[in-house]
Amino acid sequence: MHNDLNLLQNTLKSTLNFTDYFCSMFFLQTTAAWFSGIEPADRKLFFLVNNRMANNFFDTVMPFLRESSVWVPLYLFLLVFALVNFGKRAWWWILFAVCTAAICDLVSSRLIKDHIFRLRPCNNPDMAAYIRVLVNYRPQSSSFTSSHATNHFGMAMFIVMTLKTFTGRWVNLFFLWAAMICFAQVYVGVHYPFDVVSGALLGCLLGYIIALFFNNYAGLVSLQNKSA
């Protein structure tokens, strides 16, 4: 009986390993063929940003724009803004904002990048002679999708949808903020344009869903009405 159970377990493991292998190979071949179809246009756009738009000002500014530490003052401003204007109700907004960033990063960095691999332009030997890499560290993870784009556009969408009632049109500048970071990712040579556009669309979708849930069930307006 014990031997039969061991045989069954080994059979199941072999079957699952074969299934995982088959699915992975099929997925890799499919995505590789798909990426090869957009590669020529994507490379042209990449070289347009990375080479033809190059200038000393961008060379100085763009590497810093993509660093999260640069935006700590902005995050502190949002924290203070929420606490000053919404009091205890702000903690719900802060919690959902943190969840938005975490979910966006989880989906892009783990769910997608772990299953869809695309070589980053900065690591592509075929492009080494033509590319300008303006960062000291070259990430080894998949180029698709850009987690910077997903995270920042997810946050921008969440912020705009949850605060526009209280702030007016200026809050839409957060989309420009996210777009600048996406542009910087291409300019410094770590992503293709398609990577950041896909990441931006994914981030907008996730940010929209989370903001919609927040506004309907725990939003600042709803909490304000409850406390009135």
Q: Comparing C-alpha atoms, which of 130, 126, 116 is closest to residue 198?
A: 116
Q: What residue segments make up the domains of the chain, in order of their start?
A: 40-227
Residue 32 half-sphere exposure toward CB, CA atoms < 13 A? 7
Tens digit of pLDDT for each residue in 189-218? 999 999 999 999 999 999 999 999 999 887
**Residue-wise pLDDT tens digits, 140-152:** 889 898 999 999 9
- How many Å apart are CA 217 and CA 40, to the nearest integer? 46
Does the domain spanning 40-227 belong to CATH 1.20.144.10? yes
| pTM assigned to the model | 0.82
Q: For residues 151 and 110, give the distance between their C-alpha atoms in angstroms, rounded to a whole number.
A: 13
Residue 140 — left, alpha, or beta (φ > 0 → left; ψ -120 to 50 → alpha)?
alpha
